[in-house]
Structure 1
Amino acid sequence: MNHILSLNSPLQSIFWSKTNTLPKQILLIVAGVMLLALSAHISIPLQPVPLTFQSATVVFVGMAYGARLGAFTLTTYLIAGLIGLPVFADTESHLVFGPTAGYLIGFLPAAALSGYLAQKGWARTIIRSFIASCLGASVIFLCGVTVLSQFVGLHQAIAFGLMPFIITEPMKLFTTSLIVPKLWKK
Protein backbone atom coordinates (compact mmCIF):
# COMPACT_ATOMS: atom_id res chain seq x y z
CA MET A 1 0.00 0.00 0.00
CA ASN A 2 1.46 3.38 -0.96
CA HIS A 3 0.99 6.42 1.21
CA ILE A 4 1.71 10.06 0.59
CA LEU A 5 4.74 9.75 2.85
CA SER A 6 6.21 6.74 1.10
CA LEU A 7 9.49 6.90 -0.71
CA ASN A 8 12.38 4.49 -0.85
CA SER A 9 14.75 5.32 1.99
CA PRO A 10 17.08 3.11 3.99
CA LEU A 11 15.86 3.73 7.50
CA GLN A 12 12.36 2.65 6.57
CA SER A 13 13.60 -0.81 5.62
CA ILE A 14 15.97 -1.45 8.52
CA PHE A 15 13.29 -2.05 11.15
CA TRP A 16 10.42 -3.18 8.96
CA SER A 17 9.90 -4.74 5.58
CA LYS A 18 9.99 -2.43 2.60
CA THR A 19 6.22 -2.28 2.61
CA ASN A 20 5.26 1.29 3.38
CA THR A 21 2.67 1.48 6.10
CA LEU A 22 1.21 4.61 7.55
CA PRO A 23 1.84 3.61 11.21
CA LYS A 24 5.51 2.90 10.43
CA GLN A 25 5.92 6.28 8.75
CA ILE A 26 4.17 8.12 11.58
CA LEU A 27 6.48 6.39 14.07
CA LEU A 28 9.52 7.44 12.03
CA ILE A 29 8.27 11.05 11.93
CA VAL A 30 7.70 11.09 15.70
CA ALA A 31 11.16 9.58 16.29
CA GLY A 32 12.71 12.17 13.96
CA VAL A 33 10.96 15.05 15.73
CA MET A 34 12.11 13.74 19.11
CA LEU A 35 15.69 13.41 17.84
CA LEU A 36 15.57 16.97 16.46
CA ALA A 37 14.17 18.30 19.75
CA LEU A 38 16.90 16.52 21.71
CA SER A 39 19.57 17.88 19.38
CA ALA A 40 18.22 21.40 19.88
CA HIS A 41 18.68 21.19 23.63
CA ILE A 42 22.26 19.98 23.49
CA SER A 43 23.83 23.37 22.98
CA ILE A 44 26.53 25.88 23.76
CA PRO A 45 24.77 29.21 24.32
CA LEU A 46 26.54 31.52 21.86
CA GLN A 47 24.84 34.78 20.94
CA PRO A 48 22.84 35.42 18.87
CA VAL A 49 23.00 31.88 17.41
CA PRO A 50 23.58 28.97 19.83
CA LEU A 51 25.79 26.07 18.81
CA THR A 52 23.52 23.03 18.69
CA PHE A 53 23.43 19.68 16.94
CA GLN A 54 20.28 20.63 15.03
CA SER A 55 21.85 21.30 11.65
CA ALA A 56 23.67 17.96 11.57
CA THR A 57 20.52 16.22 12.79
CA VAL A 58 18.42 17.91 10.10
CA VAL A 59 20.85 16.66 7.46
CA PHE A 60 20.92 13.19 9.05
CA VAL A 61 17.12 12.93 9.10
CA GLY A 62 16.94 14.04 5.47
CA MET A 63 19.58 11.57 4.34
CA ALA A 64 18.26 8.68 6.43
CA TYR A 65 14.57 9.20 5.63
CA GLY A 66 14.82 10.41 2.05
CA ALA A 67 13.56 13.68 0.64
CA ARG A 68 9.82 13.27 1.13
CA LEU A 69 9.70 11.65 4.57
CA GLY A 70 12.54 13.92 5.74
CA ALA A 71 10.56 16.97 4.62
CA PHE A 72 7.43 15.71 6.38
CA THR A 73 9.45 15.15 9.55
CA LEU A 74 10.90 18.66 9.46
CA THR A 75 7.48 20.16 8.73
CA THR A 76 6.11 18.33 11.76
CA TYR A 77 9.02 19.55 13.86
CA LEU A 78 8.49 23.17 12.80
CA ILE A 79 4.75 22.95 13.44
CA ALA A 80 5.43 21.48 16.89
CA GLY A 81 7.63 24.48 17.69
CA LEU A 82 5.11 26.95 16.28
CA ILE A 83 2.34 25.64 18.50
CA GLY A 84 4.56 26.00 21.54
CA LEU A 85 6.02 22.57 22.19
CA PRO A 86 9.55 22.86 23.63
CA VAL A 87 11.39 21.52 20.58
CA PHE A 88 13.51 24.54 19.62
CA ALA A 89 16.83 25.48 21.22
CA ASP A 90 15.33 28.60 22.82
CA THR A 91 11.69 27.93 23.58
CA GLU A 92 11.29 31.11 25.63
CA SER A 93 11.86 33.76 22.95
CA HIS A 94 9.74 32.44 20.08
CA LEU A 95 12.67 32.21 17.68
CA VAL A 96 10.35 31.63 14.77
CA PHE A 97 10.02 35.38 14.30
CA GLY A 98 13.40 36.49 15.63
CA PRO A 99 16.95 36.83 14.36
CA THR A 100 17.55 33.08 14.19
CA ALA A 101 14.32 32.28 12.31
CA GLY A 102 16.25 31.83 9.07
CA TYR A 103 18.02 28.78 10.43
CA LEU A 104 14.66 27.18 11.21
CA ILE A 105 13.36 28.19 7.78
CA GLY A 106 16.40 26.54 6.18
CA PHE A 107 15.76 23.22 7.92
CA LEU A 108 13.02 22.11 5.54
CA PRO A 109 14.83 22.68 2.22
CA ALA A 110 18.07 21.35 3.76
CA ALA A 111 16.42 18.06 4.74
CA ALA A 112 14.74 17.78 1.35
CA LEU A 113 18.00 18.48 -0.52
CA SER A 114 20.03 16.10 1.65
CA GLY A 115 17.40 13.40 1.27
CA TYR A 116 17.22 13.89 -2.48
CA LEU A 117 20.99 13.65 -2.82
CA ALA A 118 21.02 10.52 -0.66
CA GLN A 119 18.39 8.91 -2.85
CA LYS A 120 20.45 9.76 -5.92
CA GLY A 121 23.40 7.79 -4.52
CA TRP A 122 25.23 10.48 -2.55
CA ALA A 123 24.83 8.52 0.70
CA ARG A 124 26.64 5.36 -0.32
CA THR A 125 30.18 6.49 0.54
CA ILE A 126 31.59 8.61 3.33
CA ILE A 127 33.06 11.24 1.00
CA ARG A 128 29.92 11.71 -1.10
CA SER A 129 27.79 11.63 2.04
CA PHE A 130 29.97 14.37 3.52
CA ILE A 131 29.58 16.51 0.39
CA ALA A 132 25.79 16.03 0.45
CA SER A 133 25.76 16.88 4.17
CA CYS A 134 27.74 20.06 3.54
CA LEU A 135 25.35 21.10 0.77
CA GLY A 136 22.37 20.56 3.07
CA ALA A 137 23.99 22.48 5.91
CA SER A 138 24.90 25.28 3.49
CA VAL A 139 21.18 25.80 2.83
CA ILE A 140 20.59 26.19 6.57
CA PHE A 141 23.40 28.71 6.98
CA LEU A 142 22.43 30.64 3.84
CA CYS A 143 18.88 31.08 5.11
CA GLY A 144 20.07 31.74 8.66
CA VAL A 145 22.62 34.41 7.77
CA THR A 146 20.19 36.04 5.33
CA VAL A 147 17.51 36.54 8.01
CA LEU A 148 20.04 37.39 10.73
CA SER A 149 21.50 40.11 8.49
CA GLN A 150 18.13 41.87 8.53
CA PHE A 151 18.58 42.33 12.29
CA VAL A 152 22.32 42.99 12.65
CA GLY A 153 23.67 43.71 9.15
CA LEU A 154 25.48 41.36 6.80
CA HIS A 155 28.97 41.74 8.28
CA GLN A 156 27.75 40.99 11.82
CA ALA A 157 25.52 38.16 10.56
CA ILE A 158 28.51 36.47 8.98
CA ALA A 159 30.67 37.14 12.04
CA PHE A 160 28.15 35.76 14.54
CA GLY A 161 25.92 33.49 12.45
CA LEU A 162 28.49 31.66 10.33
CA MET A 163 32.09 32.07 11.48
CA PRO A 164 31.68 30.39 14.91
CA PHE A 165 30.52 27.27 13.07
CA ILE A 166 33.26 27.03 10.42
CA ILE A 167 35.21 24.44 12.44
CA THR A 168 32.48 22.69 14.43
CA GLU A 169 29.97 22.18 11.63
CA PRO A 170 32.25 20.08 9.37
CA MET A 171 33.10 17.89 12.36
CA LYS A 172 29.42 17.27 13.09
CA LEU A 173 28.68 16.64 9.42
CA PHE A 174 31.60 14.23 9.11
CA THR A 175 30.17 12.23 12.01
CA THR A 176 26.85 12.12 10.19
CA SER A 177 28.70 11.01 7.05
CA LEU A 178 30.18 8.07 8.92
CA ILE A 179 26.72 6.80 9.89
CA VAL A 180 24.58 7.45 6.79
CA PRO A 181 26.37 5.11 4.34
CA LYS A 182 25.83 2.22 6.75
CA LEU A 183 22.06 2.86 6.55
CA TRP A 184 22.09 2.76 2.76
CA LYS A 185 23.98 -0.55 2.65
CA LYS A 186 21.22 -2.43 4.50
Structure 2
Amino acid sequence: MTSQAFVPQLLHTSTRVSGFVAEALSLVTGVLLISLLAQVAIPLPWTPVPITGQTLGVGLVALSWGARRGSLIMLVYLLLGSLGAPIFAMGKSGFLLGPTMGYLIGMGLASFAMGALADRGYTRGFWTSLLAAYAGSVCTLGLGVLVLSFYLPSEQLLMAGLLPFLPGDLIKNTLAALTSWRLRRSLR
Protein backbone atom coordinates (compact mmCIF):
# COMPACT_ATOMS: atom_id res chain seq x y z
CA MET A 1 0.00 0.00 0.00
CA THR A 2 1.28 3.46 -0.88
CA SER A 3 1.45 5.83 2.07
CA GLN A 4 -1.08 8.66 2.04
CA ALA A 5 1.00 10.80 4.44
CA PHE A 6 2.40 14.12 3.19
CA VAL A 7 6.17 13.55 3.10
CA PRO A 8 6.04 10.17 1.27
CA GLN A 9 3.71 11.71 -1.31
CA LEU A 10 6.02 14.71 -1.66
CA LEU A 11 9.10 12.50 -2.04
CA HIS A 12 7.26 10.36 -4.59
CA THR A 13 6.38 13.37 -6.76
CA SER A 14 9.80 15.04 -6.44
CA THR A 15 12.25 14.01 -9.15
CA ARG A 16 14.98 16.58 -8.46
CA VAL A 17 16.70 14.75 -5.60
CA SER A 18 17.87 11.14 -5.63
CA GLY A 19 15.90 8.71 -3.49
CA PHE A 20 18.68 8.11 -0.95
CA VAL A 21 19.44 11.80 -0.51
CA ALA A 22 15.76 12.63 -0.14
CA GLU A 23 15.29 9.89 2.47
CA ALA A 24 18.39 11.00 4.40
CA LEU A 25 17.27 14.64 4.40
CA SER A 26 13.82 13.56 5.49
CA LEU A 27 15.28 11.57 8.40
CA VAL A 28 17.56 14.40 9.55
CA THR A 29 14.73 16.93 9.27
CA GLY A 30 12.41 14.80 11.40
CA VAL A 31 15.03 14.15 14.09
CA LEU A 32 15.91 17.86 14.20
CA LEU A 33 12.26 18.87 14.47
CA ILE A 34 11.61 16.60 17.45
CA SER A 35 14.95 17.54 19.05
CA LEU A 36 14.28 21.27 18.80
CA LEU A 37 10.71 21.02 20.05
CA ALA A 38 11.89 18.87 22.97
CA GLN A 39 13.83 21.90 24.22
CA VAL A 40 10.57 23.79 24.69
CA ALA A 41 10.00 22.49 28.20
CA ILE A 42 8.18 23.53 31.35
CA PRO A 43 9.40 21.68 34.45
CA LEU A 44 6.71 20.99 37.03
CA PRO A 45 7.74 20.91 40.70
CA TRP A 46 5.49 17.97 41.65
CA THR A 47 6.54 15.56 38.90
CA PRO A 48 9.79 14.35 37.29
CA VAL A 49 8.10 14.67 33.88
CA PRO A 50 8.15 18.12 32.22
CA ILE A 51 5.60 19.48 29.78
CA THR A 52 7.42 19.63 26.43
CA GLY A 53 7.02 20.38 22.76
CA GLN A 54 8.41 16.91 22.09
CA THR A 55 4.97 15.39 21.62
CA LEU A 56 4.09 18.10 19.10
CA GLY A 57 7.20 17.12 17.14
CA VAL A 58 6.27 13.45 17.29
CA GLY A 59 2.75 14.25 16.09
CA LEU A 60 3.98 16.41 13.23
CA VAL A 61 6.50 13.79 12.16
CA ALA A 62 4.18 10.80 12.43
CA LEU A 63 1.19 12.42 10.76
CA SER A 64 3.31 13.94 7.98
CA TRP A 65 5.97 11.25 7.44
CA GLY A 66 3.86 8.10 7.96
CA ALA A 67 4.54 4.93 9.97
CA ARG A 68 7.75 3.69 8.37
CA ARG A 69 9.59 7.00 8.22
CA GLY A 70 8.07 8.34 11.45
CA SER A 71 9.07 5.23 13.38
CA LEU A 72 12.57 5.31 11.92
CA ILE A 73 12.91 8.98 12.87
CA MET A 74 11.81 8.21 16.45
CA LEU A 75 14.16 5.24 16.64
CA VAL A 76 17.11 7.39 15.54
CA TYR A 77 16.04 10.16 17.95
CA LEU A 78 15.84 7.74 20.89
CA LEU A 79 19.13 6.09 19.92
CA LEU A 80 20.98 9.41 19.62
CA GLY A 81 19.59 10.64 22.93
CA SER A 82 20.40 7.41 24.74
CA LEU A 83 23.96 7.51 23.37
CA GLY A 84 24.54 10.96 24.85
CA ALA A 85 23.30 13.56 22.38
CA PRO A 86 21.58 16.28 24.46
CA ILE A 87 18.34 16.14 22.49
CA PHE A 88 15.82 14.98 25.08
CA ALA A 89 13.72 17.52 26.99
CA MET A 90 15.75 20.28 28.64
CA GLY A 91 18.96 19.13 26.92
CA LYS A 92 19.05 15.81 28.71
CA SER A 93 20.48 12.63 27.29
CA GLY A 94 21.51 9.20 28.42
CA PHE A 95 20.10 5.73 28.64
CA LEU A 96 16.33 5.61 28.69
CA LEU A 97 15.95 4.27 32.23
CA GLY A 98 14.10 6.50 34.67
CA PRO A 99 10.67 7.98 35.31
CA THR A 100 10.38 9.48 31.81
CA MET A 101 11.31 6.23 30.03
CA GLY A 102 7.68 5.25 29.46
CA TYR A 103 6.88 8.58 27.83
CA LEU A 104 9.88 8.35 25.51
CA ILE A 105 9.14 4.77 24.47
CA GLY A 106 5.45 5.65 24.30
CA MET A 107 6.32 8.37 21.79
CA GLY A 108 7.97 5.72 19.64
CA LEU A 109 4.80 3.63 19.78
CA ALA A 110 2.72 6.77 19.17
CA SER A 111 4.78 7.58 16.11
CA PHE A 112 3.99 4.19 14.61
CA ALA A 113 0.28 4.36 15.52
CA MET A 114 -0.25 7.89 14.19
CA GLY A 115 1.88 7.19 11.14
CA ALA A 116 -0.09 4.04 10.33
CA LEU A 117 -3.31 6.05 10.47
CA ALA A 118 -1.76 8.75 8.27
CA ASP A 119 -0.67 6.05 5.80
CA ARG A 120 -4.30 4.97 5.60
CA GLY A 121 -5.48 8.47 4.72
CA TYR A 122 -6.50 9.81 8.12
CA THR A 123 -4.83 13.15 7.32
CA ARG A 124 -7.28 13.79 4.48
CA GLY A 125 -9.67 15.43 6.94
CA PHE A 126 -9.04 17.58 10.00
CA TRP A 127 -11.18 15.51 12.37
CA THR A 128 -9.61 12.23 11.34
CA SER A 129 -6.16 13.82 11.67
CA LEU A 130 -7.13 14.90 15.19
CA LEU A 131 -8.33 11.39 15.98
CA ALA A 132 -4.98 10.00 14.81
CA ALA A 133 -3.14 12.54 16.98
CA TYR A 134 -5.16 11.50 20.03
CA ALA A 135 -4.33 7.86 19.31
CA GLY A 136 -0.72 8.91 19.73
CA SER A 137 -1.47 10.66 23.02
CA VAL A 138 -3.07 7.50 24.36
CA CYS A 139 0.12 5.57 23.53
CA THR A 140 2.45 8.17 25.03
CA LEU A 141 0.48 8.91 28.18
CA GLY A 142 -0.59 5.30 28.73
CA LEU A 143 2.93 3.89 28.62
CA GLY A 144 4.26 6.94 30.43
CA VAL A 145 1.92 6.53 33.40
CA LEU A 146 2.54 2.78 33.45
CA VAL A 147 6.32 3.20 33.82
CA LEU A 148 5.91 6.17 36.18
CA SER A 149 3.92 3.86 38.47
CA PHE A 150 7.20 2.12 39.30
CA TYR A 151 8.60 5.41 40.62
CA LEU A 152 5.63 7.06 42.33
CA PRO A 153 2.84 5.89 44.64
CA SER A 154 -0.46 5.19 42.87
CA GLU A 155 -2.26 8.09 44.56
CA GLN A 156 0.18 10.52 42.88
CA LEU A 157 0.02 9.09 39.35
CA LEU A 158 -2.88 11.08 37.93
CA MET A 159 -1.56 14.41 39.20
CA ALA A 160 2.06 13.68 38.33
CA GLY A 161 1.72 11.68 35.13
CA LEU A 162 -1.52 12.47 33.33
CA LEU A 163 -3.63 15.48 34.29
CA PRO A 164 -0.98 18.20 33.82
CA PHE A 165 -0.41 17.05 30.24
CA LEU A 166 -4.00 16.98 28.97
CA PRO A 167 -4.44 20.74 28.26
CA GLY A 168 -1.14 20.86 26.37
CA ASP A 169 -2.05 17.72 24.44
CA LEU A 170 -5.29 19.37 23.34
CA ILE A 171 -3.30 22.27 21.88
CA LYS A 172 -0.43 20.18 20.45
CA ASN A 173 -2.74 17.57 18.93
CA THR A 174 -4.82 20.29 17.31
CA LEU A 175 -1.68 21.94 15.87
CA ALA A 176 -0.28 18.63 14.59
CA ALA A 177 -3.62 17.61 13.07
CA LEU A 178 -4.21 21.00 11.48
CA THR A 179 -0.68 21.13 10.06
CA SER A 180 -0.72 17.59 8.65
CA TRP A 181 -4.19 18.09 7.19
CA ARG A 182 -3.20 21.38 5.54
CA LEU A 183 0.03 19.87 4.18
CA ARG A 184 -1.92 16.93 2.78
CA ARG A 185 -4.41 19.30 1.14
CA SER A 186 -1.55 21.25 -0.45
CA LEU A 187 -0.73 18.20 -2.60
CA ARG A 188 -4.03 18.41 -4.43
Q: TM-score, normalised by structure 2?
A: 0.88
Ranges in structure 2 where 5+ consecutive residues have no aligned partner:
none
Task: Determine the C-alpha separation between the residues in 1 that align with 2:133 and 2:26.
Answer: 20
SS of match in other structure, 1:97: coil
Contact conserved, 2:82 with 2:96, CA < 8 A, in 1?
yes
Identity of aligned residues (%): 33
Say whether residues 1:36 and 2:34 are aligned partners: yes
Q: Which amino acid aligns with 2:78?
A: L
Task: Determine the C-alpha separation between the residues in 2 that align with 1:102 and 1:156.
Answer: 16
Runs of 4+ in 1 over 6 A off after TM superposition: none
SS of match in other structure, 2:124: coil
SS of match in other structure, 1:150: coil
TM-aligned CA deviation for residue 9 of structure 1 = 3.3
TM-aligned CA deviation for residue 8 of structure 1 = 5.5
How do 1:10-21 residues align onto structure 2 when only pairs under 5 Å count?
Answer: 10-14=6-10, 17-18=13-14, 21=19
After superposition, the CA RMSD in angstroms is 2.0
> Which has the higher mean CA deviation after the structures are superposed, 14-23 or 100-109?
14-23
How do 1:147-186 residues align onto structure 2 when only pairs under 5 Å count?
Answer: 147-185=147-185, 186=187
TM-aligned CA deviation for residue 166 of structure 1 = 1.7
Ranges in structure 1 where 5+ consecutive residues have no aligned partner:
1-5
Partner of 2:73: 73
Partner of 1:27: 25
Q: TM-score, normalised by structure 1?
A: 0.89
Measured against aligned partners, the alpha-carbon deviations of 1:83-134 in whole angstroms (never above 9, x if no partner) come to: 1001101445746111111001111110011011011121111111111100
